[in-house]
């Protein structure tokens, strides 16, 4: 009897031990499955934005260079010693104003000799005309005297022109630059004296791709801004369009014109410009950070609401067709609908089905016309 009880107790102990082992194995397996499942798709923190329409004005963007509507580098036509400088660097001058004189003492002396020779020729002509009336001389002698007078007058005028070349005058009204000469300096022909720029109006030279040629016409409004001060803007218009397309770049050169009575813009400045084309459009827009550009297409992640049994919304990757870009934004032509929520940052760690935690405390820039945060 005692032996039977011992056997029963032993069987019970073995059964309990076996059951405990089986339970432990199932517990460990369950825990491992839960651990692996929780680590397969851990929630990712992202920012998200609901897609909406915005009014966009299609534009052609370009960069250009400002050029004075009248601008020259004043140079000497003849050589000479600088005798007098009648201007100061940076002066505003009028048309015809005397700016610089070269020493012309020798030319002045030659002019006096030519004037005396011309006066003598005039006296000879008058005497020969009187003698011709009484047939004292022939017609050929009178003609020779008159020809000599004309030659003397021409030589005098030539000498006067030479003297005038030694007086440098402003060909038009404008602002002078920094002088390149000093009194007493020997100035050679073609040597630069000073820059003169008429800045009342300025040209802006820029290039646009040939596909936009039909959308640009003279008189069309343009808007300029500089990279010195983004708030500094000015409006102008298209003044002329080149008659040919550049063979190397397939771009056409366009010339615009702006008023610059304030004098804030200077020739040579680099500027950004926009030209409106077509009618305004209503387009879906997103921050450019939301779109991933790949060789096989552009993609983004849409936020899918959590379903029963899920604690978090999930990410789903979709292909989209992008359009115009403006500032921080890009237009989406197809692939998503208005009202959908799209991941705008943090998508590098996402894949289809990744749980999402949306935190918009720090969102990416989403301005149509952004301004620098630092100066």
Average confidence (pLDDT) per 10 residues, the chain, 375 residues: 61 62 58 49 88 85 92 92 94 94 92 93 91 88 91 93 93 93 93 93 94 90 83 88 93 94 88 86 89 90 85 91 85 91 90 90 77 53
How far is Cα 128 from Cα 120, in angstroms, rounded to an integer?
12
- Residue pair 242/253 in contact by the 8 Å Cβ criterion: yes
Q: What does the pLDDT read at residue 228?
A: 74
CA 238 to CA 302: how far, in whole Å?
43
pLDDT of residue 38: 47
How much is the pLDDT for 154? 95
Which residue pairs from 139-147 have beta carbons closer than 8 angstroms and sit at least 24 positions apart in sequence? Answer: 145/121
pLDDT at 276: 86
Nearest to 172, CA basis, from 202, 199, 207: 199
Residue 34: predicted pLDDT: 47
Domains and CATH numbers, the chain: 44-56+281-358 (2.40.420.20), 61-68+197-276 (2.40.30.170), 104-165 (1.10.287)
Tell me which long-range contacts 76-79 makes (C-beta under 8 A, separation of at least 24).
Answer: 76/102, 76/168, 76/187, 76/188, 76/189, 76/190, 76/191, 76/193, 77/165, 77/189, 78/102, 78/162, 78/165, 78/166, 78/189, 79/186, 79/187, 79/188, 79/189
Q: Please tell me the predicted confidence (pLDDT) of residue 35.
A: 44
Closest CA to 41 of 356, 366, 373: 356
């Amino acid at each position: 009897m005692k032996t039977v009880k011992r056997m029963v107790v032993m069987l019970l102990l073995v059964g309990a031990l076996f059951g405990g082992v089986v339970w432990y194995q199932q517990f460990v397996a369950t825990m491992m499955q839960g651990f692996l499942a929780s680590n397969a798709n851990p929630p990712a923190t992202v920012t998200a934005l609901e897609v909406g329409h915005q009014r966009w004005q299609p534009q052609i963007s370009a960069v250009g260079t400002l050029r004075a509507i009248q601008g020259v580098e004043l140079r000497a036509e003849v050589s000479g010693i600088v005798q007098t400088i009648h201007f100061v660097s940076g002066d505003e001058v009028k048309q015809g104003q005397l700016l610089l004189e070269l020493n012309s003492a020798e030319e002045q002396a030659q002019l006096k000799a030519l004037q005396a020779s011309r006066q003598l020729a005039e006296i000879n002509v008058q005497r020969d005309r009187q003698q011709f009336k009484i047939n004292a001389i022939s017609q050929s002698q009178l003609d020779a005297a008159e020809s000599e007078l004309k030659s003397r007058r021409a030589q005098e005028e030539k000498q006067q022109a030479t003297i005038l070349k030694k007086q440098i005058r402003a060909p038009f009204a404008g602002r002078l630059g920094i002088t390149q000469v000093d009194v007493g300096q020997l100035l050679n022909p073609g040597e630069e004296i000073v820059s003169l720029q008429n800045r009342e109006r300025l040209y802006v030279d820029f290039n646009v791709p040939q596909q936009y040629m039909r959308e640009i016409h003279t008189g069309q409004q343009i808007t300029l801004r500089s990279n010195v001060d983004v708030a500094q803007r000015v409006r102008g218009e298209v003044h002329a369009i080149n008659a040919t397309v550049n063979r190397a770049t397939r771009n056409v050169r366009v010339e615009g014109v702006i008023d610059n009575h304030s004098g804030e813009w200077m020739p040579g400045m680099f500027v950004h410009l926009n030209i409106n084309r077509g009618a305004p459009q209503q387009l879906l827009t997103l921050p450019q950070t939301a779109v991933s550009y790949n060789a096989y297409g552009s993609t983004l992640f849409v936020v899918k609401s959590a379903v029963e049994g899920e604690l978090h919304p999930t990410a789903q990757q979709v292909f989209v067709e992008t359009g115009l870009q403006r500032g921080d934004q890009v237009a989406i032509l197809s692939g998503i609908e208005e009202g959908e929520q799209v991941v705008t940052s943090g998508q590098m760690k996402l894949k289809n089905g990744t749980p999402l935690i949306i935190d918009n405390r720090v969102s990416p820039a989403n301005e149509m016309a952004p301004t620098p945060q630092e100066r």
